[in-house]
Amino acid sequence: MNILTLIKISWRNVWRNKLRSFVVILSVIFGLVGGIIMIAMSYGLNEERMNNAVETYLSHIQIHNKSFSEEYNIKHTIDNLEGIENAIENDSRVVSYSKRIILNGMLSNSNGSYGIQVKGVDPVQEVKVTNTYEKIIEGEYFKSKRDNTILIGKKLADRLNLKIKSKVVITFQDENYELTSLLYRVEGIFRSGNSRYDEANVFVKNISIAKNLPNFSGYHEIPMLLTDIDLRGDLKNDLIPYSSDNIVEGWDDISKDLAYANEMLAAVLYIFMMIILSGLSFGIVNTMLMAILERRKEIGMLMSIGMSRFKIFLMISFETMFLSIVALPIGLIISYSIVEYYSVVGIDLSIVEAGLENFGVGTRLYFKVPNQEYFIVAIMVFVISIISSIFPSVRALKINPVEATKTI
Amino acid sequence: MIETKNLSKIYNPGKFEVNAVDNISTLFKEGEFTSVVGPSGSGKTTFLNCVGGLDQPTSGEVIISGENITELSGSKIINYRLNNIGFVFQAYNLIPVLSAKENIEMIMLLQGVDENNRISRTNELLNQVGLYEMRNRRPSQLSGGQQQRVAVARALASKPKFILADEPTANLDSKSTSNLLDIMSQLNEAENITFIFSTHDQRVIDRARRVVTLEDGKIINDNKK
């Protein structure tokens, strides 16, 4: 008996009890769709969080002076700035870049103080590397002719009860470790979608810092966006030789928790998927055991007339596998359709806006499933179906043909 | 030729022993048409199970064409059954998802018979049992008598040395029984195949050319007509 005949018999056996097989197949489909939607939401959430971080404050690559990254004294500016700028401008992989002065200090008003990081930026250059200007919810993005205007986050504004045109004082240590204060007026309030970022970061024009610190020159941070986020590794290596005093980091070096979450996500999702599929496999095993119980006589007859144990094992294994394998393409097609739809339309999660903002994402979640995940899930279903088939098949082999057929 | 030598089958040895088959020695010659009869519990089925290699006797030998099949185990006995013994079951035991033709063909697929021979043998058997026109019907679309005729054709498909049939007419009405016995009788004569039945059915006993009567696992009578 060739394998095709065995497959044919197994396939027909699956459809002997249509309702039962249909229910099992349906449960596998639901499990599969549920699992893939979970993957889609998790990837969507994580990508949203990553994109938000990259577009708002991380960029693809940042350059700092090594010492500045360690002690945050403003005297540690980027070394060989001119050489680096030339290299960046002539590199086709770089879409845009900016230069920032970074001050770590306190922002105060009559209501209190709060520790913040001040980003002194060139408003024209900055819009090419950050989307903060799109996130202004009150006031404007550096439209004022004044130099001493400031953009603050919504969370900080709420905390210190700041409004447009409110006056604030920023206090920080200058290059001589002496406290220096600068007065600013609020020009805009932004809401990035990451409340922790909004609470601790403000933007000012870099010219306002330069004017008040006549002995200071240079920049502390060069953020840049690339044509492709995956090019960051190569570009980092190309920029490192320009100065040994600088440190060139990708977004994943700067925000290790975000990168770690990305790596961990896949592993965690596979574990969840395995749990879902394992649960489903018990249903499949149960169904097959019932089918074998019902067909004891027939299996006994097959053994009697000379069907080898191996072929009986294969026949039952194929039947078990068919239940999963039939469900697999249907489940994948349904999942793919749902994921594609919600990857464009997104799901409105404004009901949990506060929580999402703390997590660093917006209120609309767009599904995402990398194509290889479908392949991996398909492999997982296949493996689970093979494992599920072993127990019923072994059980079938234990049937005693004499007892099963009662008579010869 | 089938020979049993001191064949015994004891259930629950050492505890509440039941001598289902008790030291039976007998011979079935090629082409015989034999009924094994006896009351319920007399050991007919166990005797045939041992002769067919389905059950391992406690002691004694079953020698078929010079080969002691009680010494075969595992895949060897399965292969032996496949190529040498045809079985007809009381409850037909056809595979419900296969058509009549496919049920007959299946045993030849197990044997690895090539397609041309398989098809011609299947058609020949379907004609012999008078079911060629119904070859594509599944068992559920056939009557009990028709199903048992398919079962007989299936048993013959492997060209066995002999056929063991346990109560083949037990579930059939008199017309179907008569029809089935005619077919088996014709096949016995045409192909010289040995048939051994266990039965209570007087109609089968009447048609048999030899009647072996068992009681308490022993042969108490052996009549040749």
Q: Which ipTM score applies to this complex?
A: 0.81
- Residue A348: pLDDT over 70: yes
Q: Phi-psi category of A320—alpha, beta or left, where left has phi over 0 and alpha has psi -120 to 50?
A: alpha
Average pLDDT of the segment spanning B206-221: 92
Label residue A226 by pLDDT band (50, 70, 90): very high
- Residue A79: pLDDT over 80: yes
pLDDT at B106: 86
Average pLDDT of the segment spanning B190-195: 86
Hey, how many other C-beta atoms are within 10 angstroms of the C-beta on A1?
19
Q: How far apart are CA B198 and CA B221, in angstroms?
A: 14
Q: Convert the pLDDT of each residue in B117-159 to its tens digit.
A: 999 999 998 988 888 999 999 999 999 889 988 998 998 888 8
- Residue B179: pLDDT over 60: yes
Could you give the strand order of the β-sheet that contains B162-166, starting from the edge strand earlier in sequence?
A: B85-88, B162-166, B194-199, B33-37, B210-215, B218-224
Hey, how many other C-beta atoms are within 10 angstroms of the C-beta on B200?
15
Flag the least confident range among A232-241, B131-140, B155-164: B155-164
Tokens 């049937």 -> residue? A399
Amino acid in the structure at residue A357 = E
Average pLDDT of the segment spanning A365-369: 90
Q: What percent of chain A has pLDDT over 90?
A: 44
Higher pLDDT, A154 or B179: A154
Which residue pairs from A229-238 have beta carbons closer than 8 angstroms and sit at least 24 positions apart in sequence? A229/A54, A229/A60, A231/A60, A231/A93, A232/A60, A232/A61, A234/A93, A235/A61, A235/A91, A235/A93, A235/A94, A236/A61, A238/A87, A238/A91
DSSP at A221: B
- Residue A44: pLDDT over 80: yes
- Cβ within 8 Å, pair A305-B81: yes
Average per-residue pLDDT for chain A: 89
**Backbone torsions φ then ψ of B220, nearest 5 degrees:** -105, -10
Q: Convert the pLDDT of each residue in A103-119 to its tens digit.
A: 999 999 998 999 999 99
Q: What percent of chain B has pLDDT over 90?
A: 37
- Residue A168: pLDDT over 60: yes
Q: Are A288 and A320 in contact (CB under 8 A)?
A: yes
- Cβ within 8 Å, pair A12-B82: no
Q: Convert the pLDDT of each residue in A146-155 to its tens digit.
A: 999 999 999 9
Among B58, B62, B81, the strongest candidate for a mutation testing the A interface, having the largest count of A CBs within 10 A, is B81
Among A4, A12, A18, A407, the strongest candidate for a mutation testing the B interface, having the largest count of B CBs within 10 A, is A407
**CB contacts, 8 Å: A406 with chain B:** 90-91
Average pLDDT of the segment spanning B43-59: 90
Per-residue three-class SS string for A147-168? CCEEEEEHHHHHHCCCCCCCEE
Q: Convert the pLDDT of each residue in A378-394 to its tens digit.
A: 898 888 888 888 888 99
pTM of the model: 0.72
**CB nearest to A408's CB, from B89, B106, B107:** B89
- Residue A408: pLDDT over 60: no
Q: Are A151 and A203 in contact (CB under 8 A)?
A: yes
Beta strand extents in A191-333 (DSSP E only) = 201-205, 222-226, 246-250
**CB contacts, 8 Å: B196 with chain A:** none
pLDDT at B63: 93
Q: Convert the pLDDT of each residue in B73-119 to its tens digit.
A: 778 888 888 888 999 888 888 888 889 999 999 889 888 888 899 99
**CB contacts, 8 Å: A12 with chain B:** 97-98
- Cβ within 8 Å, pair B54-A297: no
Q: Convert the pLDDT of each residue in A305-321 to its tens digit.
A: 888 888 889 988 898 88
- Cβ within 8 Å, pair B79-A306: yes
Average pLDDT of the segment spanning A46-57: 85
Q: How far apart are CA B220 and CA B211, in angstroms?
A: 11
pLDDT at A406: 65
**Backbone torsions φ then ψ of A272, nearest 5 degrees:** -60, -45
Segments in A54-194 forming alpha helices (H): 66-71, 81-89, 123-126, 154-159
Label residue A49 by pLDDT band (50, 70, 90): confident
Q: How far apart are CA A318 and CA A5, in angstroms?
A: 11
CA distance B76 to chain A (A): 10
Q: How far apart are CA B155 and CA A244, in angstroms?
A: 88
Average pLDDT of the segment spanning A192-201: 88
Nearest to A339 by CA among A31, A51, A42, A49: A42
**Backbone torsions φ then ψ of A211, nearest 5 degrees:** -65, -35
Higher pLDDT, A396 or A263: A396
∠ at Cα B184 (B179, B189), nearest 5°?
Answer: 130
pLDDT at A1: 61
- What kind and span of H or E run contains B16? none
**CB contacts, 8 Å: A301 with chain B:** 87, 89, 93
Query: Could you tell me the end-to-end alpha-carbon distance of chain B, in angstroms, rounded to an integer?
Result: 19
Nearest to A107 by CA among A35, A160, A28: A160
Residues 6+ apart with CB under 8 A from A262: A46, A50, A252
B73 in contact with chain A, both atoms CB, cutoff 8 A: no
Q: Are B31 and B44 in contact (CB under 8 A)?
A: no
Average pLDDT of the segment spanning B162-187: 85
DSSP at B6: E
User: Looking at chain A, which residue has its C-alpha nearest residue B51?
Assistant: A408
pLDDT at A240: 92
Label residue A80 by pLDDT band (50, 70, 90): very high
Tell me the two tokens of residue A150: 């400031």
- Residue A407: pLDDT over 60: no
Q: How far apart are CA A161 and CA A155, in angstroms?
A: 9
User: Looking at chain B, which residue has its C-alpha nearest residue A406?
Assistant: B45
Residues 6+ apart with CB under 8 A from B206: none
